[in-house]
Structure 1
Amino acid sequence: MSTTLTVNSYFNDQVKSVALNNAEGTSTVGVMAVGEYEFGTSQREYMTVVSGSLTVMLPSESEWKTFAKGETFIIEANQAFQVKVTEMTAYFCRYE
């Protein structure tokens, strides 16, 4: 297990996350500024909104869905998904 924290920055510092590895596996905790983003996955991701909300276009859907504080959505491996952020939002992402 890594004992150092890894900070990742995306989209000109509009999205930042800190990666951690522990007994539960690999996760990131991050914040997204207001904007629109597209992410790709390399493994299954469980995204939970911690504060704020995320409006998401899931790969298999045709309509945007908003996830509020405490809600989780799952993105399968090797997929792309779009996110609209209307207020500064914090998230927790667990990888499988």
Structure 2
Amino acid sequence: MIAVNEYFGGSVMSLGYTTAAGKSSVGVINEGEFEFGTSQHETMTLVEGQLEVLLPEAEAWQTYGPGEAFEVPAGASFQVKATAPVAYLCQYR
């Protein structure tokens, strides 16, 4: 089953699904600044575009591009900035 998720008034949208390996989602982040919270450990891999990310307990923003990934522990929050649409794969493991 595919679940449609919409956040921040439609500025972030994803399609969630489950495989034998666990839950994942693919989505798009539109231009803007957003803060997300995690309930599970997340690995986010960029597919297209660039995303500036402020990870939990980090003092500096890091920029990620296509093929690059970052991890966020469960029970944390992180911030992102996009200056153009960004496509991503998020795996919850």
Match of 2:14 among 13, 17, 23: 17
Letter of the 1:82 counterpart:
Q
Aligned residues: 93
Q: TM-score if structure 1 supplies the norm length?
A: 0.95
Q: Which runs of structure 1 show a deviation greater than 4 angstroms over 4 or more consecutive aligned residues? A: none
Aligned to 1:40: 37
Q: CA RMSD in A?
A: 0.6
In structure 2, C-alpha distance between the alignment counterparts of 1:77 and 1:5, rounded to whole Å: 23
What is the CA deviation profile of residues 43-96 of structure 1, one whole-angstrom value per residue up to 9, with x for unaligned ones?
100000000011000002100000000000000000010000011000000001
Extract unaligned runs of 5+ from structure 2: none
Aligned to 2:48: 51
Q: TM-score if structure 2 supplies the norm length?
A: 0.98
Extract unaligned runs of 5+ from structure 1: none
Letter of the 2:58 counterpart:
E
